[in-house]
Amino acid sequence: MFLIAGLGNPGNKYKNTRHNIGFMVIDEITKSLNLTKINKSNFQAEVFKSQEILLIKPQTFMNESGQSIISIAQYYNIENENIIIIHDDLDLPFGTIKFKIDGGHGGHNGLRSIDSHLGKDYLRVRIGIGKPDDKSQISNWVLSDFSKEEFKCLDEIISHAIESIKALQNMPLIEVKSKFSKKNNK
């Protein structure tokens, strides 16, 4: 079984923000699958289950995502190699999609929390959101809505991310990187 977690912040206030791209991917996946919703308060997450996958949207806010993910991974006895985390990445241009296992958190507080609970050896789907010119604006940037122009591209970006997540469940990471890495030079 795979645990696939999209990172984001709960609540309508954050629904369309750059930081919530992980939630957006999970929302889109849940539309096309026959899933059971799991209600366990100690999970602190929206959890949807099929025979092969768990889809997770932690409800702990970004900075505490690891608490939710570790509780679910332990309950279902899921090894890190079967955990896929979908998250926004400031260091990638908007629309770029890359994959990795291990490595640093790059200042991403959601990844920092997951690393502290799970370690670093889980799969990551990194979706570029670009970054502001002024580093002091990073917090405002990630918590702001995508622009109208960016929204027009999100369907295609999210669809590509979903295809890559399916591949990660069946193919070695090196093949997924080769076939599904998406570069945006803007």
Residue 46 lies in a domain: yes
Catalytic residues: 19
Q: Indicate the number of domains in the chain.
A: 1
Is 44 among the domain residues?
yes
Distance separating alpha carbons of residues 22 and 41, to the nearest angstrom: 21
Q: Is residue 36 a contact partner of residue 48, using CB atoms and an 8 Å limit?
A: yes
Residue 105 within a domain: yes
Domain containing 132: what range? 2-180
Residue 95 maps to which CATH number? 3.40.50.1470
Q: What is the per-residue pLDDT for 32?
A: 85
- pLDDT of 186: 54
Q: How far is CA 104 from the centre of its chain?
A: 16
**Can you give the pLDDT of all 186 residues of the chain as single tens digits?**
999 999 999 999 999 999 999 999 999 999 988 899 998 888 999 999 998 999 999 999 999 999 999 999 999 999 999 999 999 999 999 999 999 998 888 778 899 999 999 999 999 999 999 999 898 999 999 999 999 999 999 999 999 999 999 999 999 999 999 999 988 755
Residue 145's DSSP bridge partners are: 17
Domain assignment present for residue 185? The answer is no
Is 0.85 surpassed by the pTM of this model?
yes
Instruction: Classify residue 186: in a domain, yes or no.
Output: no
Residue 127 inside a domain? The answer is: yes
What integer pLDDT is reported at residue 165 of this predicted model? 95
CB 19 within 8 A of CB 8: yes
